[in-house]
């Protein structure tokens, strides 16, 4: 019986290539986890820093800026975390994976204020706020898990074609008009009659969508 044609790639080479691919995939996952962890840590430090700066505005508002030591502590924490931790995180994982982590700032801020972790700043959370916080964290997890990834990035030509689509142009026009209209209601004196109170739920609700 005649032997079939020899394989163009030896079995040993195929096994080695598969092993290298698996090793690369494992290294990539490890780097991504490290990048997300560093981004979350940076977000936590920046949130704590902003709360310290907020506390400085309450306790040191009568002092010149050079004597507001709480403000400078918060400024140094925020700047260092963003300059170093976030930069290293972006070198480990792509921006499409790191970006959703920034949403944790709201959760960190609420939890730090709830448990009084920052210099006597303590705020209670209602059951509705706990539910909203849980829903937000769940949304961030889903976005990070099923959202954009390096494997499905669009090329420049694809992005141009997507931006030129009629549905996107319609959405961008409506969204832009809504944002400009809401800003006009908040800023222009002529629209003061229809402007709701700044501490009302209507302002919070509309601002969250615009």
Q: Is residue 176 assigned to a domain?
A: yes
DSSP of the chain, one letter per residue?
A: -PPPPPPSS-HHHHHHHHHHHHHHHHHHHHHHHHHHHHHHHHHHHHHHHHHHHHHHHHHSTTS-GGG-HHHHHHHHHHHHIIIIIHHHHHHHS-HHHHGGGGGHHHHHHHHHHHTT-BTTB-----HHHHHHHHHHHHHHHHHHHHS--GGGPPPHHHHHHHHTSHHHHHHHHHHHHHHHHHHHHHH-GGGGGGPPPTTSHHHHHHHHH-
Number of domains in the chain: 1
Q: Is residue 138 assigned to a domain?
A: no
Q: Is residue 207 assigned to a domain?
A: yes
pLDDT of residue 23: 47
Could you report the per-residue pLDDT of 173-184, keeping only the tens digit for each? 999 999 999 999
Average pLDDT over residues 44-51: 92
Q: Is residue 143 assigned to a domain?
A: no
Could you report the per-residue pLDDT of 182-200, keeping only the tens digit for each? 999 888 888 888 888 877 8
The residue among 155, 41, 25 whose CA lies nearest residue 87 is 41
Q: Is residue 188 assigned to a domain?
A: yes
Q: Is residue 183 assigned to a domain?
A: yes
Q: Is residue 118 assigned to a domain?
A: no
pTM, two decimal places: 0.61
Q: Is residue 173 assigned to a domain?
A: yes
> Which structural domain range is residue 184 located in?
157-210
């Amino acid at each position: 019986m005649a032997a079939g044609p020899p394989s163009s790639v030896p079995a040993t080479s195929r096994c080695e290539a598969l092993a290298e691919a698996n090793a690369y995939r494992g290294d990539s996952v490890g780097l991504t986890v490290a990048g997300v962890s560093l981004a979350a840590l940076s977000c936590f430090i920046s949130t704590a820093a902003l709360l310290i700066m907020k506390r400085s505005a309450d306790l040191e508002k009568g002092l010149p800026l050079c004597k507001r030591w709480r403000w400078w502590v918060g400024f140094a924490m925020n700047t260092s975390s963003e300059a170093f931790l976030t930069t290293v995180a972006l070198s480990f994982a792509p921006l499409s994976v790191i970006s959703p982590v920034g949403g944790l700032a709201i959760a960190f801020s609420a939890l730090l204020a709830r448990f009084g972790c920052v210099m006597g700043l303590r705020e209670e959370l209602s059951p509705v706020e706990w539910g909203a916080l849980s829903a937000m964290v769940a949304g961030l997890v889903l976005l990070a898990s099923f959202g954009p990834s390096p494997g499905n990035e669009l090329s420049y030509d694809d992005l141009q074609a997507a931006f030129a689509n009629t549905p996107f142009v319609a959405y961008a026009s409506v969204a832009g008009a809504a944002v400009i209209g809401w800003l006009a209601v908040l800023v222009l004196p002529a629209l003061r009659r229809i402007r709701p109170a700044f501490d009302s739920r209507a302002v919070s609700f509309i601002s969250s969508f615009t």
